[in-house]
Structure 1
C-alpha cells in the first residue's frame, strides 16, 4: 500500500501504555499500526525519541468571532491551538457577538468559521435567561453541548452573553435532560463575589491577593453544589468547567457516587501558577475563578494525580492588550493559554510528578472525545482520524512573545521555561504545524458532527 504519511519509530501512547511502533495514514485515517511498516509513503516522519499521541481536544476555547475579532479570530486562534498540539476544539458561546444563544447566531458563527480553521472544530450553544425555547433548535443543528454561567458575566452590549438565574437554570436543565444534552457550567456564587468585590475595592484594596480574596473557595463550592442539586432533581447531564479547588472536586465526586451524571475539567494555569505569583505576573494572569493560593493548589494537584479530574482544557480567553491594563479588578479576566496546554502540563504532570503518559493522554484527548460523543477522535487506533502530535520530552524552551500566534501576543507564561516541546501537529493526516517550519499550508479544519 502507498500511504499518505508514515510516522516511524516513535513511542506511541495507547490507552494501556506506550509501545515503539510505526503508524500508517491513508485518506485522513489511521490505516495501520505495526512494529515496522515497510510500505512506501508520500511523506515519512521520523519520530525517534519522541512520544506520539492523539492531539488534544480542547473543549473550552473562546475565539470571539464574529463580533470581537480584534480579540481573536478563527485563523489566529487555531494557529495557536495547532502550535500547542491541539487538533480539535469546541468553542464557547461567548465572547462572540451575537452570543451563540439561538439558531440564527449559530448559523452566523458557522459561516464565519468556514475555511479559516487549521484544526477541527464544533460550537457550543448557550443557556441564558429567556432562551429555553431556543435550545432545541441549536440541539437539532448539532451542537455537542451547552454552556451557562452561575457567575456574573456579560455587558451592556446588545446580544452579549448573560448569566442565568436559578429559575432559568432549573428550566434549562429540564429541557436539556429531555434532549439528552450536556450542560457545562461556570460555577461561582455571583451575589457574594460581586458584593465582596465592591467592598474590597471601595476600601482601596486592589492588589492581586485582594482579587483572590474577592472570590473565595467557598463561592465556587456553593455554586457547584447548587448545580449538582438541580442536576439530581432534573436528570440533566453536567460538566463543571475550569474547577480550581479540591473542595469542589470532592463535591462533584460525592454527587457522582449518588448517581448524578457529571464530569469535571480544570486548566493548566491552575496547576502552573498560584495567587502568590500574580503580584509579579500582573493582570495577564487574571482569570475567573482566580488562581488559588499555593496551599489550595497543592490539594488540586492531589486531585489530578489521583485521577479525580476528568480532563484538561485551556479556557483560552484572549483580549486586546489595553484590556489587561490598570489594576487587577479593572482588567479583563481571562488567560490566553491555547498555545501552552500540552507542553506545560506534560512537563508539570508527567516529567515532574510522574503521571503515567497514557493517563495524561486520557486527560487531553480520550476522555473529552468520549464524553462529547466524538467517536472518530481521541486515541491512536486503526480507523480513527489521524489527529496526531509529536512531543519531544528532551527539548526545552522559553515562552517568548514573538513566538505566539495569538492575535494579541500576550501570555501569563511569557518568560517561563518549559522542559518539553510539541514538534509536529497532524490533523486528519495533514501536517499543520512543524517546529522548524511553523504553521504549514492552508486551513484544513472541518466542522465536527
Structure 2
C-alpha cells in the first residue's frame, strides 16, 4: 500500500474520533483534505484502505517542542530527525518554541527557522515567536509572519534568551492585545526557584526528589497568579505553559469562570510520573517546573477530565546523555528531556485504558483545543470535512515497550524517562495532509514534505 501516490483515499472500517462522539464509518480523503464521513458505497478511483478494528484520530498538534535547530546545539535534535520521531508518535503538526540560535525574535530569526524546517521536516509545523525585553516592538511583525504565540520565561532563562521581567511582560501583553495575540509563560517565581536550587546544591542534598522542594509549588502558583492578574487588567490572552500543580489548576479554573482569557497546558510527564522517579532516573528525568507528588499527579487528572487543562504539550527538548551528567551534581545539571514519540501512547495507556478518558476528550486536548487556541483551526485539529487530512490510525490494544535507542530522534538514549515503559495503544500509521508519512515502524514520507502553517484566524 502506497498512499503517497494516491490523491483520493478511503479509510474504511475504522472508528472515527469526532469532537463530540465516535462514529463507525469511512473517512474520505481528496487532495489532502477530509472530504467526507460516510457509510455509503462510493464509486470512482479511490484507493480503499481497510482499517477495520482501528481508531482514526486527528493528528496530534504538539504545542511545546524544542528542536534546537537552527543552532550549534542541533546535535541534540534537528528538524530532519525530530520530525520523523514526531510522525512515529502521531504528531502531525509541531508547534516549535523560539529558543533557536538566533531565536525567533525578529524577521531574520523567523525566516531562518522557517527555511530550515521547510527543508527538513517530514510533518507540518507552526512557530512560536519570542518574548524577551528586546523584541517587544517586533511582536506585531511576528504576528504578520504568522507566529501563533509568544513565549516568555518568568523564571531565569539563559543569556541568549533572557527572563521577561514584569514590566516587559505587561508591555508585551499590551502589544499582543492589539491583534488578539497569545502570550505563553513559563510560570515560576525566578528568585525563589533559583534560591532553592542553589541551596540544595550548597548543602549537597542527596535526594533528587527534593527538586520539588527546591522549586516549590507555591513559587509556581505565585507566578501563575501574577501572570493572570497582568492578563486580566490588560485584556490579553494568556497560556500557562507546562502547568504542574493542582493548586494552580484550581486557581485557573476559577479565573476562567471569571472570564479571564487564560488557557492551560500541561505535559505528559506530569500526568505519568511523580517526583520519586528522580531517585531512579536522576538528572535524566530532571525538568522545570519539577515533577511533583503522586497525590498531585492524581489531582491533575481531575482537571483533565473537567476541562480546566486545555492542551497537552510534550516539552520535547533532548540533551545528550553526557550533557545530563556533565556537572557531576544533580542540582547543576540541565533540565529537560526528549520523548515526544511516547506522548500519545502514554496518554492512551494512563488516560483511556486506566482512567476511562473518552477518546473524543483525548483528541481535544492533543489536537482540537491546541488548534483553536493557537489559531490553526479549522485547517488543523479535527477530522471534520474541510480540515487537512492529518489522520492517525491507532491500535488501542497493541502492547509495546518504549526503547529510546530505537527512536527516530537524533538523540538516542536508554536512560530517558520513558525508557522501558509498557504502553497499551500504538500509532500504526500517520498521514499528513493525506500523505502516508509513518507506517508500522517505518518512515515512508519525504524530507521537506512538511509545510509551514501560519496562524489562520483570530481566537475561536
* TM-score relative to the length of structure 1: 0.96
Instruction: Report the equivalent of 1:143.
Output: 147
SS at match of 1:423: strand
Secondary structure of the corresponding residue to residue 15 of structure 2: strand
Is residue 207–residue 327 contact of structure 1 (8 Å, CA) maintained in 2?
no
CA distance in 1, matches of 2:70, 2:445: 25
Alignment of 1:214-225 (within 5 A): 214-225=214-225
Output aligned runs, 1:287-298, within 5 Å: 287-298=287-298
Alpha-carbon distance in 2 for matches of 1:102, 1:359: 36
Q: Residue deviations 1:14-62, cap 9 Å, x none?
A: 1121111111211111112111444355643221111101000111111
What do residues 271-302 of structure 1 show as CA deviations (whole Å, max 9, x unaligned)?
A: 11110112112222111111111111111122
Report the counterpart of residue 153 of structure 1 in structure 2: 157
Shift of residue 252 of structure 1? Answer: 1.3
Q: 1 CA distance for matches of 2:274 and 2:226? A: 27
Cα distance, 1:232–1:398 mapped onto 2, change above 3 Å: same
Taking structure 1 as reference, are residues 62 and 37 closer, same or farther at Cα in structure 2, changes over 3 Å only? farther
**Residue in structure 2 matching 1:360, options 351, 359, 362:** 362
What does residue range 280-359 of structure 1 map to in structure 2 within 5 Å?
A: 280-325=280-325, 326-359=328-361
What pairs up with 1:24-39 in 2 under 5 angstroms? 24-39=28-43
Paired residue for 2:404?
401
1:132 aligns with 2:132: no
Runs of 5+ consecutive residues of structure 2 not aligned to the other structure? 1-5, 455-460
Conserved 8 A contact 2:311-2:369 = yes
**1:437 maps to which residue?**
442
Displacement after TM superposition at 1:402 (Å)? 2.9
Deviation at 1:133, TM superposition (A): 1.2
Quote the offset at 1:86 in angstroms. Answer: 0.7
CA drift at 1:76: 0.8
Q: What residue number does 1:65 align with? A: 69
Structure 1: distance between partners of 2:450 and 2:443: 17
Could you report, residue by residue, the CA deviation over 1:202-227 in whole angstroms, capped at 9, with x for unpaired residues?
11114311222111110110000000
CA distance in 2, matches of 1:115, 1:350: 36
Closer, same or farther in 2 for the Cα pair 1:47/1:221, shift >3 Å? same
Number of residue-to-residue matches in the alignment: 443
**Structure 1 residue 331 displacement after superposition:** 2.0
Distance 1:48 1:38 in 2: 17
2:212 equivalent in structure 1: 212
SS of structure 1 residue aligned to 2:94: strand
Distance 1:368 1:401 in 2: 27
**Alignment deviations for residues 153-193 of structure 1 (CA, whole Å, 9 cap, x no partner):** 114xxxx2111111111111111112220001110001101
**Within 1, Cα distance between the matches of 2:45 and 2:445?**
19
User: Helix, strand or coil for the counterpart of 1:122?
Assistant: strand
SS of alignment partner, residue 431 of structure 1: strand
Residues 142 and 256 of structure 1: is their aligned pair in 2 closer, same or farther, counting only changes over 3 Å? same
Aligned residue for 1:17?
21
User: Partner of 1:395: helix, strand, or coil?
Assistant: strand
Call closer, same or farther: CA 1:97–1:164 in 2, change over 3 Å. same
When residues 355 and 138 of structure 1 are mapped into structure 2, their CA distance, relative to the original with a 3 A threshold, is same
- Separation in 1 of the partners of 2:181 and 2:441? 42
| Aligned pairs for 1:177-188 within 5 A | 177-188=177-188
Which residue does the alignment assign to 2:258?
Answer: 258
Contact 1:83 1:439 in 2 (8 A): no
The equivalent residue for 1:419 is 424
Instruction: State the SS of the aligned residue for 2:384.
Output: coil
Structure 2 equivalent of residue 245 of structure 1: 245
Q: Deviations along 1:241-281, whole A, 9 cap, x unmatched?
A: 11001111111122222221011011110011110112112
Distance 1:263 1:175 in 2: 19
Show structure 1 runs of 4+ deviating over 6 A: none
Task: Assess, with a 3 A threshold, how the Cα gap between structure 1 residues 439 and 327 changes in structure 2: closer, same or farther.
Answer: farther
Q: Does the 8 Å contact 1:24/1:37 carry over to 2?
A: no
Further displaced range: 217-226 or 197-206: 197-206
Deviations 1:419-446 (A, max 9, x none): 1111010000000001143443443110
Distance 1:393 1:252 in 2: 32
Aligned partners of 2:88 and 2:441 also within 8 Å: no
Q: Matches of 1:130 and 1:194 in 2, distance apart? A: 23
Q: Is residue 2:51 matched to residue 1:55?
A: no
